[in-house]
Structure 1
Amino acid sequence: MTYQAEIRVWRGDMTGGGFATYQVEADEGEVVLDLVHRLQATQAPDLAVRWNCKAGKCGSCSAEINGRPRLLCMTRMSALPPGEPVTITPLRAFPVIRDLVTDVSFNYTKAREIPSFAAPQGLAPGEYRMSQEDVNRSQEFRKCIECYLCQDTCHVVRDHEENKSAFAGPRYLMRIAELDMHPLDTADRQKAAQEVHGLGYCNITKCCTDVCPEGIRITDNALIPLKERVADRKYDPLVWLGSKITRRR
C-alpha cells in the first residue's frame, strides 16, 4: 500500500541550518533510508547522507530519528508513530559537516589511543591458545559495527564537550574491557581505563546498550565488570596484597 509520509530533515552545515519538510511517497515495508533515497531522487538531490550496505552491518547511516539514535536502514516506517511527521537529524554528539553527515573523527582518535593486543614474550602468532569459555566471553563485543550510536547517546560525550579529551566513550571502553578479559593480553588495561580513558566518568545509565543495533550488552557485560575489576584492584586489600607479591616474584 502506497501512502504519503511527511519527513522533516535537518538541512545545513557547521555554520547553522534548520528543518525542511517534505512529502515523500512510501510503500509498505520500507525503512527510513528508502524514503531518504527517494527524497534525494525526486526533490532534494543535494541532500548529504552517509550509507553503504543497507543491511545494518556497516554502521554508516547513523542518524537520529524522532530524537533517538538509530540506523536509517534498520528503522522501519511501520515502527514509527503512524500519521506523524518523521524527524531526521544528524548525530548530536559530533560536529555537522553537512545535512545528516557528521564528523566522527573523535572516534578514530580514541581508537588509536588504545594499545593493541600485547602477546606474552616468546609466544608467536599461531601459538596462542585459550579456552572456549574465554572466547565466548568477548565474542559478543566483536559484533560491534562501529555505528557510534552508543557514543552519540552517551550523555558524558553528548552533553559535555569538555569531557571528550578525557573520555573514550562506551564503544572504546568496551574494547578495553574485551582486551582486559583476554587471558593472554599482558598490557595494564585497568590502570589505563581509569587514568587515561575516563572509565570513572561512566555512571552506567545503560543508554549505550539501549541503542545498540547489534544488541550488545555494553553496560552489563563490559563496562560494569571492568569497573568492578578496577575497584577491586584499588580498594580490595587482598587483591592489593596479591599484586605486591606477584610483582616481587
Structure 2
Amino acid sequence: MSYTAHFRVWRGDSEKGDLVDYRVEVNEGEVVLDIIHRLQQTQAGDMAVRWNCKAGKCGSCSAEINGRPRLMCMTRMSTFTESDVITVTPLRAFPVVRDLVTDVEFNYQKAREIPAFAPPEGVAPGEYRMQQVDVERSQEFRKCIECYLCQNTCHVVRDHEENKAAFAGPRYLMRIAELDMHPLDAADRQRAAQEEHGLGYCNITKCCTEVCPEHIKITDNALIPLKERVVDRKYDPIVWLGNKLFKRDKTDA
C-alpha cells in the first residue's frame, strides 16, 4: 500500500537555507532514508545527504526528524501517520555544509585529544591479562557506531557554542570511562576527564542515552560511574590517604 506524504526538508548551506515542502510517494516497509533517496531521484537531484550502510551500523545518516536526532535508515515511515508533516533537518550542533550534511570535525578533534590505551611498564603485548568481568564492564561501550546523535543532543554542546573547546561530549567521555575501567590502563583518566575534557559540565540529564540507536546506557553505565570515581578520588579523605600511602600507579601516573 502506498500513499503521498508531506515532507519538509532543510535545503541550504552554511550561509543561508530554509525548509522546502515536498509531496512524495511512500511505500510499505520504507524508512525515512528511502524517501530522501526518492526525492533525490525525482524532485531534488542536487540534495546533499550523507549515508553508507543503510543498516544502522555506520552512523552516517544522522539527522533530526521532527526535531529528534535519529538515524534516517532506522526511522520507519510506519511510525508516522499519513497526515503527519515530516520535517528533516541537519544535526543542529554542528556547522552545515549543505542540505542535510554537517561538518562533524569537532568529534574527530575530541577523539584525537584522548590518549590511547597505556599499558603498565614491564608488561609486553601478548602478556596482558584481565578477568572476564572486566571485559564485560566495558563491552557495551564498544557498540558505539559514532553517529554523533549523543553529541548533537547534549545541551552542553548543542546550546552553548562556547563550551565546545572545554567539553568532549558524551561519546568521548564514555571512551574515557571505558579506558578508566580497564585494569591495565596506566593513564590518569580521572584527572584528565575532569580537568581536560569537561566532565563537570555534564549534568546527567540522560538525553544522550535516549537518542542512542545502539541503546548504550551512556549516562548510567559510563558517565555517572566516572563522576563517582572522580569525586571519590578528589574528596574522599580515606581514598586520598590510601592513594598517598600506597601510591597506586593508576592514580599517580
Structure 1 unaligned spans of 5+: none
Q: Which residue does 1:83 correspond to in 2?
A: 83
Partners of 2:128 and 2:211 in 1: how far apart? 34
Q: Does 1:64 align with 2:64?
A: yes
Any idea what the Cα deviations from partners look like across 1:225-246, whole Å, max 9, x if unmatched? 0000000001100000011112
Any idea what the Cα deviations from partners look like across 1:146-202, whole Å, max 9, x if unmatched? 000000000000000000000000000000000000000000000000000000000
Q: Which residue does 1:196 correspond to in 2?
A: 196
Q: Which residue does 2:171 correspond to in 1?
A: 171
Q: Which residue does 1:157 correspond to in 2?
A: 157
Q: How many residues align?
A: 249
Contact 2:13 2:97 in 1 (8 A): yes
Deviates more, 1:154-163 or 1:117-126: 117-126
The list of structure 1 runs, each at least 4 consecutive aligned residues, that deviate by more than 3 angstroms after superposition, is none
Q: Does 1:121 align with 2:113?
A: no
Partners of 1:153 and 1:222 in 2: how far apart? 17
Deviates more, 1:113-122 or 1:78-87: 78-87
Which secondary structure does the structure 1 equivalent of 2:156 belong to? helix
Q: Which residue does 1:31 correspond to in 2?
A: 31
Q: Does 1:135 align with 2:135?
A: yes
Partners of 1:222 and 1:41 in 2: how far apart? 42
With normalisation by structure 1, the TM-score equals 0.98
With normalisation by structure 2, the TM-score equals 0.97
Partners of 2:171 and 2:80 in 1: how far apart? 27
Q: Does 1:209 align with 2:209?
A: yes
Q: Which residue does 2:12 correspond to in 1?
A: 12
Superposed counterparts of 1:90-109, under 5 Å:
90-109=90-109
Q: Tell me the CA shift for residue 82 of structure 1.
A: 3.8
Classify 1:248/1:91 alpha carbon distance in 2 versus 1 (closer, same or farther; 3 Å).
closer
Partners of 1:233 and 1:157 in 2: how far apart? 27
How large is the RMSD of aligned CA atoms in angstroms? 1.0
Contact 2:4 2:82 in 1 (8 A): no
Partners of 2:126 and 2:43 in 1: how far apart? 55
Q: Tell me the CA shift for residue 64 of structure 1.
A: 0.2
Give me the identity figure in percent.
78
